[in-house]
A = this chain, B = another copy of it.
Amino acid sequence: MAGSTFGNIFKITTWGESHGKALGVVIDGCPSGVSLTEEDIQVFLDRRKPGQTAISTPRKESDQVEILSGVFNGRTTGTPISLTIPNTSQKSSDYSEIASYYRPGHADYTFEAKYGFRDYRGGGRSSARETAGRVAAGAIASKILREMGITVTAYTRSIGPVSIDMTQFDKEAVFTTATCMPDRQADEKATDYLKECMMNKDSVGGVVECIISGMPAGIGDPVFDKLDALLSRAIMSIGAVKAVEIGDGIHVSEAKGSENNDAFVMRDGQITKKTNHAGGILGGISDGSEIILRAHFKPTPSIFREQETVNKSGENIKVTIKGRHDPVVVPRAVVVVESMAALTVLDACMTNMSAHIDHLKEFYNKSRT
């Protein structure tokens, strides 16, 4: 219950600190028979790699994943898949300074309040490196979802004041621009904005949006495990997220019912909706439309200006943080959002298979013949 496990049937457990020997994840409940290689996972991990663009610092982490169990002859066996990612790039720098005080905006103080002390090397368990395990597991969940006809796509919606123009949506750009924006013009503007931030020794926040397509209607549970509730928890559990929106999100609180309701309409013999203010979920259950969610990320807390804080002796001090830190977390967080959404949706789909007695009867009668 210390909260490193996520999911009910497709269940992942992540472990590892920023500057320990390695990070990793164990995936339990993965169906057997899924074709899987390290390369399938590596492409996801590469999307969160640091040190690759003008708007990120020149740190290098190779993040090479290794499959230690659960795969045999190229297919998953149904038993736990253990993935490790060695930590190779940790500078053996002197952490004694950072160990002595609490960085503003970081979890230094709260970890000590809970556990009595902390692994202060690079943020320890509260480092964004912790998400590597999530992404490795998310790669597998995404692969399974694709085989089921469901795709999950996240991208940068905005960085600071610069938003994408949805009419210019260019999915390819998500994977090729430094900002992960699906709009090359916005990418340029955001890049300029970020360079200015870096010059000012400051950082900035942004928004990641995620679309889940191909989702059948009827997935999710009606009360505490509403699909949007589980997605919110999944997304808010990513460090630096401070708000989660589904569909029209915050705008619903100023909307009228006559604007916000989505009319149902028949299309090609299927029940669909004329609009999608709801973001694909009604009463906690998918309605067959695209599921849309947004995560608001705070600015990177590590900035290179002088800041006020407190040290472990209880003295007010002024500090200037050193090290290698991106001015915005959003581009690297895109694949993390995508992974958490995929994990949540796959788990909900698996749970849903026994929702109706006819499913059980059909499944078990078939297995008898």
Q: Which of A100-138 contact B (CB under 8 A)?
A: 102, 104-107, 109-111, 113-119, 121, 124-126, 130
**If the complex has contacts A79-B222, A114-B78, are A207 and B253 also in contact, measured as CB distance less than 8 A?**
yes
Asked whether, in the complex, the Cβ of A114 is within 8 Å of the Cβ of B355, the reply is yes
**If the complex has contacts A2-B221, A232-B244, A257-B105, are A33 and B357 also in contact, measured as CB distance less than 8 A?**
yes
Count of chain A residues with a beta carbon within 8 Å of a chain B beta carbon: 170
Give which listed residue, B3, B148, B230, B298, contacts A225 with CB less than 8 A: B3
What residues of chain B lie closer than 8 Å to A219, measured between beta carbons? 114
Complex Cα distance A63/B256, Å?
Answer: 29
Asked whether, in the complex, the Cβ of B218 is within 8 Å of the Cβ of A110, the reply is yes
What residues of chain B lie closer than 8 Å to A234, measured between beta carbons? 224, 229
Complex Cα distance A12/B250, Å?
Answer: 29
Complex Cα distance A353/B114, Å?
Answer: 10
Asked whether, in the complex, the Cβ of A246 is within 8 Å of the Cβ of B247, the reply is no
User: Does A91 make an interface contact (CB < 8 A)?
Assistant: no
What residues of chain B lie closer than 8 Å to A309, measured between beta carbons? 263-265
Asked whether, in the complex, the Cβ of B307 is within 8 Å of the Cβ of A263, the reply is yes
Asked whether, in the complex, the Cβ of A116 is within 8 Å of the Cβ of B33, the reply is yes
Asked whether, in the complex, the Cβ of B117 is within 8 Å of the Cβ of A33, the reply is yes
Q: Which of A203-260 contact B (CB under 8 A)?
A: 203-207, 216-226, 228-237, 239, 242-250, 252-260
Asked whether, in the complex, the Cβ of A264 is within 8 Å of the Cβ of B104, the reply is yes
Of A164-172, A175-183, A184-192, A275-283, the stretch lying at the interface with chain B is A275-283
User: Does A34 make an interface contact (CB < 8 A)?
Assistant: yes
User: Does A52 make an interface contact (CB < 8 A)?
Assistant: no
Closest B residue to A17 by CB, please name it. Answer: B69
Asked whether, in the complex, the Cβ of B253 is within 8 Å of the Cβ of A158, the reply is yes
Of A40-48, A53-61, A344-352, the stretch lying at the interface with chain B is A344-352
State the 4 A-B residue pairs at the shortest beta-carbon distance, nearest first: A107-B283, A3-B225, A3-B221, A113-B218
